């Protein structure tokens, strides 16, 4: 499989950029002619990852979030969302459904669960004080040969 | 995101329009909190049909409404025919907090159109 296109977008961790990231992700995968479902699923996963960086990574501060995407000839989409925020103390716990460290802000703790459900693969790299990198992959149109 | 309220007797319908994400949920939550502080309702119906996007912030938004209203015994309903939103609601076990209405005919039992 060959890489068709690649992009990197950097933006401030302001919550209004959650929508901007979604729209960018949609536009970037549109050459693969995704179904409505696929488009929404990728957008939602990107929204969750970016929101996590805004709410948790940078918490009460503002930093830079990087969205990187690649699309391949076999209809695979790869998404990486990176921040240099405070990092995750316990990744396994963070990935548990309904677990959140932000109960005072009424967060549902469903971000990773949604990402896992809507994408084919999810990898999380993080260390306290060293930021977080979320990698996701989805193959669109699995019936295409 | 727009939030519209409609009342029928002791039922409040909360109609959401546009995108429900973390950013939009912040202002939306304040509006809902203010509305619920003015009157106790027997039923709340979150109507998601006008949403063009929803992520897990929608769960927080509805759960917040539940937290505010259930203290008074208010029944919470969520109406949506969107399969993805239903999936997100199920992932979060929202059935434990509210009744999910995936079909219009169930909504019509609670609301006169």
- Distance (Å) from the C-alpha of residue A99 to the closest C-alpha of chain B? 11
CB contact under 8 A, B21 and A108: no
Give the burial string for A27-54 (b: 16+ CB within 10 Å, else e): ebbeebebeeebbbbbbbbbbbbbbbbb
pLDDT, tens digit (0-9, with 9 covering 90-100), for B56-96: 999 999 999 999 998 899 999 999 999 999 999 999 999 99
pTM: 0.94
**Arithmetic mean of pLDDT, B6-23:** 97
- Distance (Å) from the C-alpha of residue A101 to the closest C-alpha of chain B? 14
The pLDDT of residue A101: 84
Average pLDDT value over all residues in chain B: 95
CB contact under 8 A, B55 and A51: yes
Average pLDDT value over all residues in chain A: 94
Contact list in B for residue A48 (CB cut-off 8 A) is 55-56
pLDDT, tens digit (0-9, with 9 covering 90-100), for A66-89: 999 999 999 999 999 999 999 999
In this model, does residue B40 exceed pLDDT 90?
yes
Contact list in B for residue A16 (CB cut-off 8 A) is 23
State whether ipTM is beyond 0.90.
Answer: yes
In this model, does residue A144 exceed pLDDT 60?
no
The pLDDT of residue A142: 63
Residues of A serving a catalytic function are: 48, 52, 107
Please state the three-class secondary structure of chain A as a single string: CCEEEEEEEEEECCCCHHHHHHHHHHHHHHHHCCCHHHHHHHHHHHHHHHHHHHHHHCCCCCCEEEEEEEEECCCEEEEEEEECCCCCCCHHHHCCCCCCCCHHHCCCCCHHHHHHHHCCEEEEEECCCCCEEEEEEEECCCCCC
Contact list in A for residue B68 (CB cut-off 8 A) is none
């Amino acid at each position: 499989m060959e890489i068709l296109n690649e992009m990197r977008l950097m933006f401030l961790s302001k919550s209004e950029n959650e929508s901007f990231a979604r729209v960018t992700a949609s536009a970037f995968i549109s050459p693969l002619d995704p179904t409505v479902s696929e488009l929404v699923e990728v957008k939602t996963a990107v929204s969750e990852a970016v929101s996590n960086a805004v709410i948790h990574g940078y918490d009460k501060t503002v930093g830079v979030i990087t969205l990187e995407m690649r699309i391949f000839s076999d209809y695979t989409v790869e998404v990486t969302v990176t921040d240099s925020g405070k990092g995750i103390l316990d990744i396994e716990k963070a990935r548990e459904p309904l677990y959140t460290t932000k109960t005072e802000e009424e967060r549902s703790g469903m971000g990773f669960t949604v990402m896992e459900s809507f994408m084919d693969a999810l990898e999380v790299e993080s260390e306290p004080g060293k930021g977080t990198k979320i990698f996701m992959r989805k193959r669109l149109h699995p019936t295409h040969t | 995101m727009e939030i519209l309220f409609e009342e029928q007797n002791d039922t409040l319908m909360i109609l959401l329009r546009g995108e429900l994400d973390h950013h939009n949920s912040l202002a939306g939550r304040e509006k809902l909190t203010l509305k619920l502080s003015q009157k106790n309702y027997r039923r709340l119906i979150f109507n998601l049909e006008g949403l063009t996007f929803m992520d897990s912030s929608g769960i927080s938004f509805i759960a917040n409404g539940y937290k505010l209203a259930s203290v008074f015994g208010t029944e919470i309903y969520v109406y949506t025919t969107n399969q993805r939103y239903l999936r997100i609601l199920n992932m979060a076990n929202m059935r434990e907090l509210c009744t999910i209405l995936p079909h219009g005919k169930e909504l019509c039992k609670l609301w006169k159109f």
